[in-house]
Amino acid sequence: MLSHLLHRLGIESVVLETRSRDYVERRVRAGVLEQGSADLLTSAGVGERMIREGLSHDGINLRFAGEQHRIDFRRLTGRGITVYGQQEVVKDLIKQRLEDGGEIWFETEATAVEAIDGDRPRIVYLEDGVPTTLQCEFVAGCDGSHGVASPAVLGSTYERTYPFAWLGILAKTPPAADELIYAYHERGFALHSMRSPEISRLYLQVDAAETMDAWPEDRVWNELRLRLAEPGLQPGEIIEDGITPMRSLVTEPMQRGRLFLAGDAAHIVPATGAKGMNLALGDVRVLAEALAASYRSKSRDLLERYSEVCLRRVWRAEHFSAWMTALLHRDPEGDPFEHKLRLSYLRYVTTSEAAATTLAENYVGFDGA
Ligand code: PHB
């Protein structure tokens, strides 16, 4: 996305991608776009398929203690969300970049970022196993939390781990509800999401150390049926499955010299708030504008404030994601006091207009942080 935005601003870039095109286009990730993210894709001319195939939702459902409540985003905030898989966004962006003659070097592993404090930073990458140098004016570290960019900033890390993970499946079965269902159950959290009228995306809270071996298909469907309490959910062929750990992490600052971190390289959120892709898109929107301003007017103001501007939005999303996670997951110790507190808070969020608005405005994306 950054490369595409820069191209539209007349700035050349090269994207180094460790994996193959096939791998990144297939890798299943979360699928919720905040209104601002959907608007960004559309205004940048890469939203055509998302508008056609994405599912517009005006709210979510919360289920707990045998009750179902809807949080009406549209009424509470005037905004909604679009359910559209992250790898679909990736496919659309790659296609557009290649059509525009953009350079994406697939299966090219960056091994270091050097000289970021000077005017000519470098990326070292492997070409046929031989370390080779790419000289740049600026480097954007969009290489995730295990990449080489993040440590080069020498910043501070703020981190939280959780004693549970998400087991996710993609299944050939029609979604049993029109909107997402977030369920808090004594057996643990479950989420019902979707990708299309034929494909559902479903998640279960499992212990952090769990592996797929312990989860044959019928156990997965059984558990989903119990926790979601959704009679309309029919088992179907599982096309993809996997276990994703839950983590909260922020690196501060998000920049040093001519290196700027964006997306997971700078921050990780647990998937409960569906914020990961939205935060990354928010970062690169700010970064593209700041880079353009520095070329246009030689003014470094915006670039210098990149981290500060991003971190306000990032920390709001970090809080929201950790809060949603605490609200909806069973703690493995099963503390009964915590359970009662959670039920009380869920009732509050679903009956108080003020509390419901807090959830809604954060879910659709709060841009006043
Ligand atoms: C998804 O559809 O994959 C999804 C939806 C909502 C979440 C996380 C993942 O909070």
Which residue's CA lies nearest to atom 4 of ligand 1?
Answer: 30
Sign of CA dihedral 108, 113, 115, 118: positive
Cβ atoms 286, 265 nearer than 8 A = no
Task: Using the predicted structure, report yes or no on whether residue 318 has a pLDDT greater than 80.
Answer: yes
Neighbour-count burial for 255-294, b at 16+ CB within 10 Å, e otherwise? bbbbbbbbbbbbbbbbbbbbbbbbbbbbbbbbbbbbbbbb
Q: Which atom of ligand 1 is nearest to the CA of 193?
A: 2
Closest ligand 1 atom to Cα of 32: 5
Does the beta carbon of 195 sit less than 6 angstroms from any atom of ligand 1?
A: no
Name which residue sits closest to atom 7 of ligand 1, judged by CA: 274
Give pLDDT, residue 55: 96
Q: Report the C-alpha gap between 5 and 115 in whole angstroms.
A: 25
- pLDDT band of 159, cuts 50, 70, 90: very high
Question: Which domains does the chain show, CATH number per domain?
Answer: 2-57+80-159+247-332 (3.50.50.60)
| Nearest CA owner, ligand 1 atom 6 | 274
* Three-state SS letters, 298-317: CCCHHHHCHHHHHHHHHHHH
- The per-residue pLDDT for range 218-275, each reduced to its tens digit, is 999 999 999 999 999 999 999 999 999 999 999 999 999 999 999 999 999 999 999 9
Output the CA 202–ligand 1 centroid distance in Å. Answer: 8
- Whether 170 lines ligand 1, by a CB cut-off of 6 Å, is no
- For residue 11, the CA-to-ligand 1 centroid distance in Å is 34
Strand order across the beta sheet in which 122-127 lies: 110-114, 122-127, 130-135
Condensed to tens digits (0 to 9), the pLDDT of residues 108-148 reads: 999 999 999 999 999 999 999 999 999 999 999 999 999 99
Q: What is the pLDDT of residue 109?
A: 95
DSSP for 335-349, written as a single string: -HHHHHHHHHHHHHH
| Residue whose CB lies within 8 A of the most ligand 1 atoms, among 193, 239, 364, for a mutation test | 193
79: number of Cβ within 10 Å: 18
> Quick one: pLDDT band at residue 199, thresholds 50, 70, 90?
very high
Q: Which of 57, 203, 239 best tests ligand 1's pocket when mutated (most atoms within 8 Å of CB)?
A: 203
Q: How far is the CA of 32 from the centre of ligand 1 (A)?
A: 6
CB burial string 102-137: b at 16+ within 10 A, e below = bebeeebbbeebbbbeeeebbbebeeeeeeeebebe
Give the Å distance between the CA of 307 and the centre of ligand 1. 27
CB burial class (10 A; 0-12, 13-18, 19+) of residue 337?
exposed
Mean pLDDT score of the chain:
96
Gap from CA of 204 to ligand 1 centroid (Å): 11
Give the pLDDT band (50/70/90) at residue 181: very high
Closest residue by CA, ligand 1 atom 2? 31
pLDDT at 252 (0 to 100): 98
pLDDT value at residue 115: 96
Provide the β-strand partners of residue 248. Answer: 160
pLDDT > 90 in the chain, percent: 96
Cβ count near 173 (within 10 Å): 19
For the chain, report the end-to-end CA distance as a whole number of angstroms: 23
Residue 28, pLDDT score: 87
For residue 177, report the distance from its CA to the centre of ligand 1, in Å.
14
> How many CB atoms lie under 10 A from the CB of residue 16?
18
What integer is the mean pLDDT of 88-115? Answer: 98
Q: What pLDDT is stored for residue 29 in this prediction? A: 86
Asked if residue 31 has its Cβ within 6 Å of ligand 1, the reply is yes
Q: What pLDDT was estimated at residue 299?
A: 83
How far is the CA of 150 from the CAs of 100, 113, 315, 329, in angstroms? 29, 10, 17, 30
Q: Is the pLDDT of residue 292 over 80?
A: yes
